[in-house]
Amino acid sequence: MKSSDMGAFFAIILLGLSLFSALLLESRMQTHYILELVLIVIGIILTFGILFGLWIDEPWAFPLSTILFSASVVNIVWMFKLTNSFIVSAFALLVNIAGVVICIASMERPTPWSELETYDAKKRKK
């Protein structure tokens, strides 16, 4: 198993835990719970897209999952403000920050310009 496969495996687990913790916090909300359910459904749809991208090893999957984890951090902070549930919020923040770190570490690095082949177009053979 390659290290990129391990990154994808951990990213999938952390995405699931992130959605689960968002559901736990949503169940404790007194207001704005409909908005939060809509955000969770959007997160589920994006998670299935990311899961597919990680499964077929697409280069866009890790950057998109980094964006989703970052948005989840903002969402968790907003839900903590509304619920004041410290333990679940701390767990959710830990999961999402770990997801951001793993996804950033697992991204493919672009090829440096010095390693690209170049051709001299001005040089002509006669």
54: helix, strand or coil: helix
102 inside domain: yes
Indicate the DSSP class of residue 108: P
Domain that holds residue 90: 3-107
120 inside domain: no
What gap in Å lies between CA 78 and CA 100, rounded to an integer?
A: 18
114 inside domain: no
112 inside domain: no
Tally of domains within the chain: 1
Per-residue pLDDT band for 125 (boundaries 50, 70, 90) equals: low
117 inside domain: no
pTM of the model: 0.81
pLDDT at 13 over 80: yes
